[in-house]
Amino acid sequence: MRTLAEGNTQLCIYYRGEKVVDLWASASDDSAFTPDSLVNVFSSGKSLEALAIASLVDKGLLRYDAKIAEYWPEFAANDKQGLSVADLMRHEGGLANFDVSIDTEDLLPENIKQNRVGRIIERQLLRFGLANGNKREYHAITRGWIVNELFRRVDPAGRTVGEYLREEISGPLQADAYIGLKREELARVSPIKTLGFGFQLLQSLIPRRFGRKIVHNIFQILGRLLRILPAIRGGRSQRFPPPYKGMKDIDFFNAADVAMGETPSANANCSARGLAKIAAMLAGGGSFAGTRYLGAQAWKDLHADPVKEMMGGIMPTEFTQGGVARFSACTRDATRFERD
């Protein structure tokens, strides 16, 4: 925190089931920020949605190799009948973007159950825009919306992912990790703040030994931009609308109606303590403090059948059938993108 630009931050680490690090701080003396403050953890929510799907596998209600349309027949419209659960979890669903923007009101649990989002997904076309048959394209936001529709159709109680998380994981574990906040929880949220482009550009020119407040220098930033430029151009050429109606920038996620809705892939609000406790449970093979939350076989299935592929044609990735990203240390043969 002395060298980077975070205003508020939390850090919590478990080792072999025991909490060994529990830190929090505010660079601006924000008295409202505590170790129990909730923060949007964006793509860390993808791990929570993967856990939700794994719970259905654990109960024998769903298979990763099954077609999504087996559980959701209407999904098969527009040639989507061949898409499997594993395809979706590996970001190979051909649905990285929708042709319409979603209204935040439609993402409230009661409206999700009216199939407002489901109807939009059902009429989407598969779009594989990459060359050489590569289907892996980051479903930054849409994967969670699709997972939620699949989950509530298979779950015997018809719950959303957020409701499952509260009832079967966050509540029993006493872990502050939520997808879809209740109104009374909004006061605990520490809003996100983005760094302006000008600030980042100026900081990138400062040598690290003189206190640069961002990780990459100007040459690394320009190098990355050049490497991803073809992918950016490809995305722009298709002219997809923003994921949400009214979304202009990342600060959009601070809005109360966004936080109360369910976008599992991008709006989980957690404390470091809560997210770390769930991670400790998963690191423990599905058990924590003597209680099992995910069966041993389901845990293995969640981590099984990893497939390597270039994400968006530019970044090497390895995803399991359950949507777990596997990481490894960079070797001398690693691409420049990986090393940076």
| CATH number of the domain that residue 187 is part of | 3.40.710.10
Report DSSP state, residue 244.
Answer: B
The pLDDT tens digits for 238-272 are 678 999 999 998 899 999 999 999 999 999 999 99
Give the domain extent around 106: 39-195+248-339
C-alpha span between 328 and 318 (Å, rounded) = 10
Per-residue pLDDT, averaged over 318-331, amounts to: 87
User: Is 27 inside any structural domain?
Assistant: no
Per-residue confidence band for 315, with pLDDT thresholds at 50, 70 and 90:
confident
Predicted confidence at residue 200, as pLDDT, reads 64
- SS3 for 227? helix
Residue 216 resides in a domain: no
> Comparing 23-32, 47-56, 124-133, 202-211, which segment has the lowest mean pLDDT?
202-211
Q: Mean pLDDT score of the chain, rounded to an integer?
A: 90
- Window from 87-91, 129-133, 301-305 with minimum mean pLDDT: 129-133
Specify the number of domains making up the chain: 1
Section 141-162 average pLDDT: 99
pLDDT, mean of residues 97-104: 97
**Residue 112 resides in a domain:** yes
What does the DSSP 8-state code read for residue 305? S
Q: How far apart are CA 280 and CA 82, in angstroms?
A: 35
pLDDT at 338 over 90: no
Torsion from C-alpha of 309, 314, 315, 317, nearest 10 degrees: -10
Q: Are strands 18-26 and 315-319 parallel, antiparallel or unpaired?
A: unpaired
Answer yes or no: is 254 within a domain.
yes
Mean pLDDT within 102-114: 98
- C-alpha triplet 26, 3, 13: angle, nearest 5°: 60
Q: What is the pLDDT of residues 72-92, one digit of tens each?
A: 999 999 999 999 999 999 999
What is the pLDDT, as a whole number, of residue 209?
72
Tell me, yes or no, whether 21 lies in a domain: no
Owner of token pair 């961002």: 214
Tokens of 48: 């929570």
**Which pLDDT tens digit goes with each residue over 169-222?**
999 999 999 999 999 999 999 999 876 666 666 766 777 776 666 666 666 656
Residue bearing the bigger pLDDT, 12 or 31: 12
The pLDDT of residue 218 is: 64
In this structure, what token pair is assigned to residue 6?
A: 């975070």
CA gyration radius for the chain? 20
**Prediction pTM value:** 0.89
The terminus-to-terminus CA distance of the chain in angstroms comes to 21
pLDDT above 90 for 99: yes
Cα 217 to chain centroid, rounded:
27
How far, in Å, CA of 239 to CA of 280, rounded?
A: 41
Residue 232 has pLDDT above 60, yes or no: no
Residue 2 sits at φ, ψ, to 5 deg, of -70, -25
Would you state the pLDDT for residue 68?
99
Judge whether 243 lies within some domain: no
Instruction: Count CA atoms closer than 13 A to 231's CA, side-chain side.
Output: 16
95 in any annotated domain: yes
Q: Where are the alpha helices (DSSP H) in the chain?
A: 45-58, 68-71, 85-89, 109-112, 116-122, 142-154, 161-164, 171-173, 197-204, 218-238, 256-260, 272-283, 296-302, 336-339
Give a yes or no: residue 148 inside a domain.
yes
| pLDDT for the residue numbered 312 | 77
